Amino acid sequence: MKSTELQQSLFTAILQGNDLALKDICNKHADAILEYFPSWTQVPPAVAANPQAVQAWVHCLQTLATLFESVGIPDLMKHLTGDLVNICVRWQKTIARAKGLAQHGQYAASTELLEGLARELDHAQGNIVDDYRPKVYGLLGMNAFHLGHDDDAQRLTNRALEDCRRAGDASGVRVYTENLRVLAAAAATRSTDERDVRMLRIRAAIARAQDLSDDARFDQSNDALDTAIADIDAAGDGPGSEYAGKAYGLLGLNWLRLGDAAHARALTTKALEYCRSRNDADGVRTYASNLAHLDRLEKLTG
């Protein structure tokens, strides 16, 4: 039986769930499968153009490798794993090359490399893919920003953030959430839209409030935060509203340092609620810890 005929027979049996036919073919053609399997790991172009077909193809390869391994023949699994290692090395080299181009200001060339890799990753699946794909979209987002494509920068970085959330990558969520804030602020500097201008005022007021708080000028810091919160309230759900947790959290900390623990608790609770409403894991962790600290202080002071 020719390679293509054997591959089609095996894949049909696997996809139809016909275990008897699959075992029969494997028993009759074990040597041929061992010979042809390496060529089957190269996904044909016609298949590669269809994500569902790619997933089915990979599923069939994994099924065959697992079946042979279960009867003491690890050759297929070793080859499949080896191919995966080679693929990962290629992905790493592509990302490194794209980063190098971007560092030298060649953003369009970097993007061209990354777009090809993104298409490949979109047609793949697995834990390793979940690790690489956000990095690629994050880099694409930064390239788009440097090329002046603000909407694309936001969209691509959002894609990286969504991938990290699906994969449960807390570190990635933190990175791309902050990247989105930076991108929004940078885009706002090029905008005359009142919402963007307000967002810049909010960021500036909070930054000044943080500096004043660090210098123990808590009353003045609170004045700056009151200004920021007024703008945050005016923003509604628009640009700048994402800073509510930070503003109320810092306000709570200032009041604690001014000796008003009750006021500090109310404001920190509000900060925590804002962060929970936005699925801000870092903020939730920070302000939940701050509230626990207030609980301990309360017990110590009676």
pTM score: 0.50
Average pLDDT, integer, range 86-109:
85
78/66 Cα distance (integer angstroms): 10
pLDDT per residue over 66-79, tens digit each?
A: 999 899 998 888 87
Tokens of 278: 């936005």
Domains of the chain: 3-73 (no CATH), 101-188 (1.25.40), 194-301 (1.25.40.10)
The pLDDT value recorded for residue 251 is 94
> What mean pLDDT comes out for the span 260-287?
91
pLDDT at 295 over 70: yes
pLDDT in tens, 5-50: 999 999 999 999 999 999 999 999 999 999 999 888 877 777 766 6
| Residue-level pLDDT at 51 | 59
Q: What is the pLDDT of residue 172?
A: 86
Read off φ and ψ for residue 175, nearest 5 degrees.
-65, -50
pLDDT band at 121 (very low <50, low <70, confident <90, very high): confident
